[in-house]
Structure 1
Amino acid sequence: MRILIVDDNPTSLQSLSVVLSDLGHDPAPFADPVRALEEALRTHYPLIITDIRMPRMDGITLLRKLKSTPHTETCDVVLITGHGDMETAVGALRHGAYDYLNKPINARELAAVVERSAEHQALLLENRDLRQNLDLRVREVADTLHRDLEEARTCLRQVFGIGSVVSESPATEQVMNDARMFHNDPSVPVLIEGETGTGKEIIARLIHFGEAGSMHPFVAINCAAIPHELFESELFGHEAGAYTGSRAGGSAGKLELAAEGTLFLDEVAEMPLSLQPKLLRVLEDRTYYRVGGLRKRDFRARVICAANRDLEELVERGLFRRDLYHRLKVGHLVIPPLRERREDIPALARLFLTRQAERKRKQFTSVSPQAMDILLRQPWPGNVRELENTIERAVLIHDAPTLRPEHLTFLTERQSAYSCAGVPKKLPLDLENLELPEAPLDLEALTTAIVQKALDRFEGNKSKAAAYLGISRFALHRRLQK
């Protein structure tokens, strides 16, 4: 073991060097403590033996400098003490000294101290290696877990269709931004409105899972698919014997199954009117009872609702409760139809083509400009769902590296059957002879006036006014909000 010896007494320095050499160690003697400190900073010495009383720098000062420097803080420092230095040496032990030797130095005591120091240094080295190996292993495990988590999140998005959200258009980007915002506050109920096939459930899943993913359940109910007489039991669950035909042991409802996740009520406009006050009470009190139950249960899930009918119009007609409508609308999203965000069509088409080609093991990897032009010119009354079904049909029938117009002949043959967004083939206005005034036009005011005239014509019926104007109910709704 390399041992640094510091003593201004040449005789003592020589004696220590000889004894340590005889013990099989490699001593480095220094009479000047300043030079000894410089040497210790250059070369690692596991053990440093130093006298206390020395000119230029005493042993206590040398000890403090060694212990305050990262390069030398782990070395063992043994102090050589005279009779008057005993109290100082004992105090130095509290500041990091390894041990002390009394003058005159006994060879056996010196050998014992050196041996203990060697064992101590060996333990420090072993601990350092173990710590480094542990840190390395922890980093490896952490990296592996991070990769597994990212793969799990990717699979999660693919399984639940979150990857189908494409935001090329500003309108879709705004919907996605709002969805991410709602994800951060599970206490806020969210109402998603949009035509059939616009991707309302995908947005609901995006609100639930967020970007990072969630391990909490996502429980979906299609309100239009449940018989009215079974709706309450399906939603709230029931106790044993609650009604004729109920399960013997009772059953948990969707409120209970959602736990701390999300309850998604699709086509919420079809919920029985008699059940709507009970849902409102759940949202207000965050508690509920099973059918036939006496024990109050806590409700902790987020509530997201979707509607393809104009809920506001249903409220005006008395077909949906106004108080529930406003409670569900705390968080509100309106997904525009695909014909109003055609910028999304190319990215969606490529996404669906890649997905269907992988599932059906076909060659398709791209869409030709001519085929894309056909897709862009379609009215897509079925929205994103219709686009996906169209791509799936083309991939099912054909197989080629690129989707071309001849693969979409079934689409072009039926194009004439569509009336794009309800626009009449011949406009009632004579646009060719239309004269504009000299003064600048306020297009926004003119549009607002036309919308108001249409509403007046149909006595406030938004569905009829939207059909007359050739736009969707939700486009009309956004116009009215402006």
Structure 2
Amino acid sequence: MRILIVDDNPTSLQSLSVVLTDLGHQPTTFSDPIAALAHAKENYYPLIITDIKMPALDGLSLLAKLKACDMCRQSDVIIITGHGDMDTAITALRNGAYDYLNKPINARELAAAVERSSEHQTLLFENNDLKQNMEQRVAEAKESLQDDLEKMRSQLRKVSGIGQIISGSPRMQTIIRDATIFHHSPDVPVLIEGETGTGKEVIARLVHHGDTHCDTPFVALNCSAIAESLFESELFGYEAGAYTGSRAGGSAGKLELAGNGTLFLDEIAEMPLHLQPKLLRVLEDRTFYRVGGLQKKEFTARIVGAGNKNLEQMVEDGLFRRDLYHRLTVGHLRLPPLRERQEDLIEMAKLFLKKQAKRKGKQFSSIAPETLTLLCGYSWPGNVRELENTIERAVLIHDDSILKPDHIEFINASRSTSATPTTPSQAPSVTIEASTITLPEHPFKLEELTQSIIQEALAKFNGNKTKAAAYLGISRYALYRKLS
């Protein structure tokens, strides 16, 4: 071990050097403490042995200057004191000395002190090495985690559909721009309207995530899937004992679970009419109460509603609150159907083909021009969802490198290829009498027949939905559901 010895007594200095050399160490001696300090600042010594009483700079002062030096901060310093001078030794230990030796110095005590210092320096070296390795590993792990996080975020965007938004049409470009703007105003509610399958939830997630990624919760509630009797507790949560069968500790509702994120109310037109004022109160005051609760809770999330019904018409017919509708439409997005987005259809078809081919291990890589013509000629009443399902079915059944017309011939076999959706007047002719129903010879779609009957009833009463519903023996609410 390299050892620096500082002592103004030449005899003592020589004796210490000989003993330490015999013990296998490498001593360097200085009789001038100032020169020794300058040397120590440039050269690291694991152990420094210094006398206390020296001219120009005593041992305690030298100790203080050594500990203030970056090069010497981790060096062990052993102080040599006069016999019985315990006060000086205690002061030295308090000021950072590793050990002390009394004069006259005993060779065995010196050897033992140096051995302890050697072990201490070994531990310091190992600790520093471990710390450096740990810091490096932590840095590498942090970088790796960040990479993984970015991959997960990218994957999440793909899974949620955000990464598949095709925006070639000007209308979709405007919608994406507005959705990104709405993302930066979480206190502004957003209403997304559009036909079934147009991608309303994908746009809702775009409002939530913005143009990067958001780590806050995205909580979805399908309003049409909740029984009316359970809707309030599902949305607002409930306290213990709020109703028969409730959990002993109560339960948080979707408003609480959304936290600082987004509450997505899908099929918002199905929200019970008597609960709509409560949702409006949440939007206005940003507070709510659990069912059976007395403690006011803060609401900090964004609300995004979506639906495929004409909410404006429902407002006129008294089936949806006007004030809630106007509050929701502060941020309003109306998604065009796929038949009005011819610019996007081809790109979507290519994207879905690539996705399904990879997922199912098929060779499909392109779409024949005739197939594109066929795809563009179909009305796609199921919109984007129907297009993706069509491509998936073709890839599942066939295995080729090019998607050909015969791979999707089933859309001609069972559906119209008109550029406009099938209207009720195009449905098969069915005669309905008091006790006899005459069905056509060829297969038909019951849903189209139902729509035809409803349209005939509406025409019979000049569009009056209340009279048409009464004529059909259903509620006006049920009539709206069948019209969706």
Which bin holds the TM-score, normalised by the shorter protein? 0.5 to 0.7
Percent sequence identity is 59
Unaligned segments of structure 2, at least 5 residues? 424-484
CA 163–2 in structure 1, closer or farther in 2 if over 3 Å, else same: same
Contact in 2 for aligned 1:365/1:402 (Cα 8 Å): yes
CA 88–379 in structure 1, closer or farther in 2 if over 3 Å, else same: farther
Contact in 2 for aligned 1:368/1:402 (Cα 8 Å): yes
- The equivalent residue for 2:353 is 353
Query: Could you tell me how far apart the structure 1 residues matched to 2:374 and 2:328 are?
Result: 39
- The equivalent residue for 2:419 is 418
- The equivalent residue for 2:303 is 303
- The equivalent residue for 1:219 is 220
- The equivalent residue for 1:27 is 27
Matched, 1:249 2:245: yes
Contact in 1 for aligned 2:288/2:297 (Cα 8 Å): yes
- The equivalent residue for 2:333 is 333
1:120 maps to a residue whose letter is H
Cα shift readout 1:182-221 (whole Å, capped 9, x = no counterpart): 5566554321123332211122234456654657462321
- The equivalent residue for 1:260 is 257
Contact in 2 for aligned 1:196/1:382 (Cα 8 Å): yes
Unaligned segments of structure 1, at least 5 residues? 423-482
2:113 maps to a residue whose letter is V
Query: Could you tell me how far apart the structure 1 residues matched to 2:317 and 2:188 are?
Result: 27
Deviation at residue 46 of structure 1 after TM alignment: 0.8
2:2 maps to a residue whose letter is R
Query: Could you tell me how far apart the structure 1 residues matched to 2:331 and 2:321 are?
Result: 17
Deviation at residue 391 of structure 1 after TM alignment: 2.0
Query: Could you tell me how far apart the structure 1 residues matched to 2:118 and 2:150 are?
Result: 48
> In structure 2, the residue corresponding to 1:418 is in which secondary structure?
coil
1:119-268 mapped onto 2 (5 Å cutoff): 119-135=119-135, 138-139=138-139, 142=142, 146=146, 149=149, 153=153, 156-157=156-157, 159-167=159-167, 172=172, 175-176=175-176, 178-179=178-179, 182=182, 187-208=187-208, 212=213, 214=215, 216=217, 218-223=219-224, 249-250=245-246, 256-257=253-254, 259-261=256-258, 262-268=262-268
- The equivalent residue for 1:434 is none
1:258-407 mapped onto 2 (5 Å cutoff): 259-261=256-258, 262-284=262-284, 286-288=287-289, 290=291, 293=292, 298=297, 300=299, 302-316=302-316, 318-338=318-338, 342-367=342-367, 380=380, 382-404=382-404, 407=407
Query: Could you tell me how far apart the structure 1 residues matched to 2:55 and 2:374 are?
Result: 95
2:256 maps to a residue whose letter is A
TM-score using structure 1 length: 0.66
Cα shift readout 1:93-121 (whole Å, capped 9, x = no counterpart): 55544344455544455334323322322
Query: Could you tell me how far apart the structure 2 residues matched to 1:141 and 1:377 are?
Result: 53
Query: Could you tell me how far apart the structure 2 residues matched to 1:296 and 1:62 are?
Result: 67
CA 133–233 in structure 1, closer or farther in 2 if over 3 Å, else same: closer
Contact in 2 for aligned 1:49/1:80 (Cα 8 Å): yes
> In structure 2, the residue corresponding to 1:363 is in which secondary structure?
coil
- The equivalent residue for 1:110 is 110
2:127 maps to a residue whose letter is N
CA 73–233 in structure 1, closer or farther in 2 if over 3 Å, else same: closer
> In structure 2, the residue corresponding to 1:77 is in which secondary structure?
strand
CA 393–9 in structure 1, closer or farther in 2 if over 3 Å, else same: same
Query: Could you tell me how far apart the structure 2 residues matched to 1:416 and 1:346 are?
Result: 16
Q: CA RMSD in A?
A: 4.7
Cα shift readout 1:235-287 (whole Å, capped 9, x = no counterpart): 56899999xxxx96148999825532254322323444444224323444532
> In structure 2, the residue corresponding to 1:417 is in which secondary structure?
coil
- The equivalent residue for 1:45 is 45
Greater displacement, 232-241 / 112-121: 232-241
CA 67–367 in structure 1, closer or farther in 2 if over 3 Å, else same: farther
